[in-house]
Structure 1
Amino acid sequence: MAPGPGSHAGRRMSMRRSVITTLATMAALALAALGLAGAATAGTPTTQDRSFSAEQTGDIEKIVHDYLLKHPEVLIEAMQELDKKQAASDRQKQDGAIAANRAAIFNDADSYVAGNPKGDVTIVEFFDYQCGYCKRSFGPLMDTLKKDGNIRLVLKEFPILGEESVTATRAAVASMKQGKYFEFHQALFHHKGQLTDEAIMQAAADVGLDTARLKRDMNDAKIKKLITRNYELADALAIKGTPGFIIGGKLIAGALDKDELVAAIKDARETCGANC
């Protein structure tokens, strides 16, 4: 998955470091509480009357340290539980964001719809023409679209990998005025190597676009507004990289192979029917 700023992986790694620190602190506090409870039972001062000396604090920290070294599985279990809770929280937020932005996601008049416009399952893809993971998904996606025959594919231009990506997006959107968007879209994904202005225009010419007109149409202010809307929508959905798919109302981050696509489509048909 081509990364965007503030990726989930980076945040999760930070959270894992945090949970280790937090767990050690909580263990120390628990041990301290037990020690104080025992002291209180023996008639010695409680937490309101005394604090630990530096020597006692060091002893507690050593006990926690030694315990965690002897039982590292405690940390692993804690991090696994953290991952589960974070994933559930992320999913809940994403589901809410998808519900709140359904019109922009599924029915934006300026987003190109490929496949069967009346298909029973809608796939929405956020992509960048220079994204290697998008290219990896491109073949399986096109094959599935053709073989299934009942898929509605909504294409969301999401150029996050540099100026060439933005140029390719502007050219692709502008090609709609000449009725050749999907042919051009495929040509850009079939291009080998880095996209340049020359390569973009050559791909346009190869599919029969009037490149002089295309260059003029690329300056349409509506195109810039569309890209900005897609950035804002991706941000609302917490999509930080490409590709990002929404299938059956569920967000799936990263490249998908044929089997994964077919499984996601099957699940969509079984769980949400016509509401996909």
Structure 2
Amino acid sequence: MYMSAVATKIEDKVKEAPLTVPLKIDKSESWKLFDTIAERYDLLNYICSAGILSLWRQKLVDYFPKGSDLKVLDCATGTGEVMFSIMDDHHFDIQEIHGLDLSKNMMKKGLEASEDKSYAKKVCFHHASATQIPFNDNHFDCVSMAFGIRNVDDYQNCLKELYRVVKPQGRVLIMEFSLPKNNVIKSIYLFYFRHILPFIAGVLSKNKSAYRYLNKTVEAFPYGDAFVNHMKDAGFSTVWKSLTFGIASLYIGTKNE
């Protein structure tokens, strides 16, 4: 059940975002950064990842649970690309799917994109935080969160919220950037992330500082076994899959109750 007192639907009037965001930003206000780059966010991600981001999303979808009349939540949904990828493959199995995010501009783009989908009536966007999810306990069969948890102030609190809203034996799929173990690949990756990516993004989005911020959050994130331990502390049994030389990781958590 959706608790409307905690969040508002994106159909409400979307306020204009500020034009610039400082390089040093509190994670609790990182949504402001995404508001500034929403217009070209998906294009930037495609270009800067050489198209590999769509392959990673499909890998997440490959681990989506089987069933019927499923209820699904996508946290840090942004423009809804993960939701759409899930629905493209599983819309006959899904009763309802909800995406939540703090960036209204990002969700506005997603809402516009969803209107042309055959499954548009099943898709709903909510302006809310993954640390205060506006749904009752044990509501969802599956919860996903792609490239968003590193922008959360308190990973553990967020994971506890995901654990709370997923059903017993339900699945949580978290995808996030990580660092390659191979030192040569790691050096190339970090050079690209620190210097080339901000330049390309700066040219296309006029906001180089946004991608410098994102690079810093990636390098500071506790990936691999360290993040698996965070998930275990929240109550999940977790499997960790390394993707593309360790550039990204998929964490598959099950609520064992």
Q: Which structure has the highest strand share of the two?
A: 2
Q: Which structure has the highest helix share of the two?
A: 1
Greater CA radius of gyration, 1 or 2? 1
So what's the TM-score if we normalise by structure 1? 0.25
